[in-house]
Chains A and B, each alone.
Chain A
Amino acid sequence: MGFFQKMFSNNPRKSSSISKMPVLTPQPLLPNIQENINYVKEALFHTDDLIHQTLSIPGYNSEFLFLYSMCDQKKIRDEILKPISDHRHLDQELKEILIDMRANKHDDLENVIDLLVKGNAVLFIEGFTECYVIEVRSSHERNVAEPSNEKTVEGSHAGFVESLTINLQLVRKHIENRNLVVRRYKLGKQTRAETVLIYLNNLANPELIDEINERLRSINADNITSTEFIEEYIEDTSLSPFPQLLHTERPDRVIANLLEGRAALLAEGSPTALLMPVTFFSFYQSPDDYYFRSFSGSFIRFIRIVSFVIAICLPAYYIAVVSFHYEVIPQDLLLPIKSSIEHIPYPPILEALFMELTIELLREAGIRLPGPVGQTIGIVGGLVIGDAVIKAGLVSNAMIIVVALTAISSFVVPSHEMSSSVRILRFPVMIGASLFGFFGIVYSLMMILIHLCSLHSFGTPYFAPVAPFRLKDWKDMIIRFPQWKLNQRSNDPAPQKLSQEGYSGEGHHGDDQAE
């Protein structure tokens, strides 16, 4: 018993050390340059990428420090050395030089060290009580290209990058609204990752924002490097198979969700935004649904919801049918199925597990291998194994079809996390089916449904608008009504204002489209 408790308890022995967080006292500047430099060097443990150089400003004894791994040499030349050399022969004031350098005054050495680590250069001048910090950070940003895991046919092809500033800009550019609020957090005791929460102040529910704020503040961890780390700290139920925060790398998706009254979390160094609160059905919505016309958008979305059912139930259904209820097979289908499984040595559940495992292996191998090799693996796996396995009599034809269809449907989901949840969820259903037939399927689906209904995401029901039921939100659930019909926002994030659209378009859409 003690073993289990130890395994699953959340580290109770160390929970008392929360208050021992070191608080650095401000350290005023020392009078001597050398002392200052030594202090900084001590603080950074004589790290070898710390460079100090002497500057020859006429009349002043000065040195500057920077971490060369973080700084752009060209910027150092332009921002620090050039202003000095420009003013060398003139009897200029030091002030002018500093203005040219765009330097900031600082007098707390601890603060200066933090800035140094971030890629600033620090200038010490003999006899001054302040030092000057000049921003010379080097940055290597990739283009705001479309994220490869969330491609769409139409619409914006921009994607988030690893820089928070650029990401925020991408969002702000589309919502030119003074209500867009950015709240900044520093998360992780070691990493001090810069994280921002963005929301629309006039839409997002204040209680939701308070809740997110509280959860973010309560994170007491050393290492937070990207938004995905934050997810596990702030989600409601970590032991649920369903993701409760929506990951996206698409600015348009973030913007659309912000406009529905949700909040987004972005972090420096991570191209992934977390959207909250979300419902189950948000994972089945893609920006494409809105870029297409209502008819085709609805069709695609409907197919996706069907794919969820197929991905979870189809292998289980097949197993149940061939091992418990073969009465339900139509007469003309009986002979082909019977002859394909007649000489298979294993029970259907093992067959299915074997094939599912093969598909998962192929998928994983395809991701890890470089592009062209990955495709080869796909072909080798799909064609060669698929064909050989039937010829060898290990797996039946019908099972290959079932597993292939299931695999395809699980990849239809626009969200990667949901896709992996679905892939995991079908195993309990399959086992249930192999033990109890249809009864087992119904039983496991019921468990899933109960779980879905009881799940919450930041205080809002996860399975809305099915449970709790709200017919108005069904307009944008399985099918998508035309934009001019979506008069109200969806109610699940509890926005401050429900109405989002007036009677636009009703006039010329005429009476035949009447309610």
Chain B
Amino acid sequence: MKIVKIILSICLLLLTGCWDQQMLKDDRLAYVIGYDLSSEGMIQSTTVLLKVSGLPADKSEISEVHTATGFTSRHTRDITDREVPGKLSASKLRMLLIGEDMAKQGVYPLLDVYYRDPKSALNSKVAIVKRSAHDLIATKTKSTQINGEFNKLIKSGEKRTVVPTVNLELICTHMLDPGEDFAVPYLTQHDTNPVIEGIAMFNDDKMMGVLNSEDSLMYLLMKNKLAKTASLTLEVDKNEAQKPYNYIALDFQRVKRKLNVSVDGYKQIKVLLDLKVKVTAIEYPKDHLYLNRTLEKLDQKLSQDLTHKAEAVVRQMQDCNHDGLGIGRRIIAYYPNTWKKLNWEEDYRNIEIIPKVTVEIVNHGIVN
């Protein structure tokens, strides 16, 4: 009897298996998905499948691209799945590209399906494409196969402090947070290649504006998000005959940020942003950096320039109603009563943000 029970229970166990199997060899993996607003207000999706060179006979060098138009992103995926031989899976998605028009309407409806599906790749990168995501993908796939290209481009941008390190998961919290906003990389096209143009600033889930790649560096420094390296070329002189002598290139070593939010009475919000940066002069043809006088002069000049830059960036952020520094979050935390009275969507534009950058050249390379 015991034996029969054991055999029965083993059989039961074995018969219940395999129901949620998803075979890697049977699935077709979407690597890059682009969303655009189609002319009728529908969503057009462009899906690039991972190119797998399985059989030697299969020699084509171009990635498989499928385009579908539907009401929601899930709808377009279902339509695409009908075209694709094998089961379409987005669980290894690397890159999500969203067309600018689509982004201006709001991205949450697009991304909702990714947040609900437990198998979706939340570490996939997100970027906004100037004009149409479909065109960018289509021109790129005509010449070569797309596997990790977009992803690698964004990652190198992150390392150089050009774009913020974000992915599907990280932007979700900020998208739903009234006190902080997110920014994602902004791509454009140069010949057939995608190029990082800067970053797209969001308010809630709607794209509001763009910062170019030099401003985005400033933006990230103000957010205290210095990555591995960050370099910036600035004009420090105007009078030299030979153009290169007018410029200095800086490599940011360390950033110390102090963000001080103070509330005076009713709606009088003042933000002091104090940035202390230590830089290396990696290019300065004019030289004489060993002289303390030159250094001091340069430090002063650079501090002034960068403060101006920072002010410009802050102005753009406020114009776009983009609270990338998370000032709202600080007010929620430290001044909850003030926050209740505020209408952040309106009042953010009017608060006073005073950036101040102090530059110190600590290193000028191995030449003397």
Whether the Cβ atoms of B22 and A324 lie closer than 8 Å is: yes
> Which residues on A sit within 8 Å (CB–CB) of B14?
431, 435
Whether the Cβ atoms of A335 and B23 lie closer than 8 Å is: no
Whether the Cβ atoms of B53 and A339 lie closer than 8 Å is: yes
**Which residue in chain B gives the minimum CB-CB distance to A337?**
B24
A-B contacts besides A322-B23, A326-B92, A332-B148, 15 pairs, CB < 8 Å: A1-B1, A322-B24, A322-B25, A323-B23, A324-B20, A326-B27, A326-B91, A329-B92, A331-B92, A335-B147, A339-B52, A342-B54, A343-B25, A344-B25, A347-B23
Whether the Cβ atoms of A341 and B17 lie closer than 8 Å is: no
Residues of A336-358 contacting chain B, CB below 8 A: 337-339, 341-344, 347-348
**Which residue in chain B gives the minimum CB-CB distance to A1?**
B1
| Cβ contact of B24, chosen from A1, A326, A332, A435, cutoff 8 A | A326
**A-side interface size class:** 20 to 34
> Which residues on A sit within 8 Å (CB–CB) of B20?
324, 437
Whether the Cβ atoms of A4 and B22 lie closer than 8 Å is: no
Map CB proximity to A onto B145-160 as digits: 1 under 8 Å, 0 otherwise.
0011001000000000
| Cβ contact of B29, chosen from A322, A334, A437, cutoff 8 A | A334
> Which residues on B sit within 8 Å (CB–CB) of A323?
21-24
Whether the Cβ atoms of A342 and B52 lie closer than 8 Å is: yes
> Which residues on A sit within 8 Å (CB–CB) of B13?
435
> Which residues on A sit within 8 Å (CB–CB) of B17?
434-436, 440
Whether B366 sits at the interface, judged by CB under 8 Å, is no
> Which residues on A sit within 8 Å (CB–CB) of B24?
321-323, 326, 329, 337-338, 341
Whether B241 sits at the interface, judged by CB under 8 Å, is no
> Which residues on A sit within 8 Å (CB–CB) of B52?
335, 338-339, 342
How long is the Cα–Cα vector from A327 to B27 in the complex, in angstroms? 12
> Which residues on A sit within 8 Å (CB–CB) of B54?
339, 342-343
Map CB proximity to B onto A303-327 as digits: 1 under 8 Å, 0 otherwise.
0000000000000000001111011
> Which residues on B sit within 8 Å (CB–CB) of A435?
13-14, 16-18
Query: In the complex, what's the smallest C-beta–C-beta distance from B293 to chain A, in angstroms?
Result: 51
Whether A229 sits at the interface, judged by CB under 8 Å, is no
Query: In the complex, what's the smallest C-beta–C-beta distance from B115 to chain A, in angstroms?
Result: 16
User: For chain A, what secondary structure do more than half of its interface residues adopt (helix, strand, loop), or is it mixed?
Assistant: helix
Query: In the complex, what's the smallest C-beta–C-beta distance from A398 to chain B, in angstroms?
Result: 10
Interface centre among B1, B25, B147, B148 (most CB of A within 10 A): B25
> Which residues on B sit within 8 Å (CB–CB) of A343?
25, 54-55
> Which residues on A sit within 8 Å (CB–CB) of B1?
1
A-B contact pairs, 6 of them (CB 8 A): A324-B22, A327-B121, A331-B92, A335-B147, A435-B16, A435-B17
> Which residues on A sit within 8 Å (CB–CB) of B364?
none
**Which residue in chain B gives the minimum CB-CB distance to A433?**
B17
How long is the Cα–Cα vector from A8 to B119 in the complex, in angstroms? 47
Interface centre among A4, A334, A344 (most CB of B within 10 A): A334
Q: Count the B residues whose beta carbon is within 8 Å of the partner chain — how many?
A: 29
User: Given the interface contacts A334-B92, A436-B17, does A1 sit within 8 Å of B23 by beta carbon?
Assistant: no
How long is the Cα–Cα vector from A338 to B50 in the complex, in angstroms? 10
> Which residues on A sit within 8 Å (CB–CB) of B148?
331-332
> Which residues on A sit within 8 Å (CB–CB) of B21?
323-324, 437
> Which residues on B sit within 8 Å (CB–CB) of A341?
24-25
Whether B4 sits at the interface, judged by CB under 8 Å, is yes
Query: In the complex, what's the smallest C-beta–C-beta distance from B48 to chain A, in angstroms?
Result: 14
Interface centre among A8, A348, A435 (most CB of B within 10 A): A435
**Which residue in chain A gives the minimum CB-CB distance to B52?**
A339
Whether B3 sits at the interface, judged by CB under 8 Å, is yes
> Which residues on B sit within 8 Å (CB–CB) of A431?
14
How long is the Cα–Cα vector from A342 to B25 in the complex, in angstroms? 5
Whether the Cβ atoms of A327 and B4 lie closer than 8 Å is: no
Whether B94 sits at the interface, judged by CB under 8 Å, is yes
| Cβ contact of B50, chosen from A324, A335, A347, cutoff 8 A | A335
Map CB proximity to A onto B334-366 as digits: 1 under 8 Å, 0 otherwise.
000000000000000000000000000000000
How long is the Cα–Cα vector from A348 to B14 in the complex, in angstroms? 16
Query: In the complex, what's the smallest C-beta–C-beta distance from B128 to chain A, in angstroms?
Result: 22
How long is the Cα–Cα vector from A326 to B23 in the complex, in angstroms? 8
Whether the Cβ atoms of A1 and B121 lie closer than 8 Å is: no
Whether the Cβ atoms of B3 and A338 lie closer than 8 Å is: no
Whether the Cβ atoms of A327 and B25 lie closer than 8 Å is: no
How long is the Cα–Cα vector from A326 to B27 in the complex, in angstroms? 10
> Which residues on A sit within 8 Å (CB–CB) of B27?
326
How long is the Cα–Cα vector from A348 to B23 in the complex, in angstroms? 9
> Which residues on A sit within 8 Å (CB–CB) of B18?
434-435
Map CB proximity to A onto B3-47 as digits: 1 under 8 Å, 0 otherwise.
110000000011011101111110101000000000000000000
> Which residues on B sit within 8 Å (CB–CB) of A322?
23-25
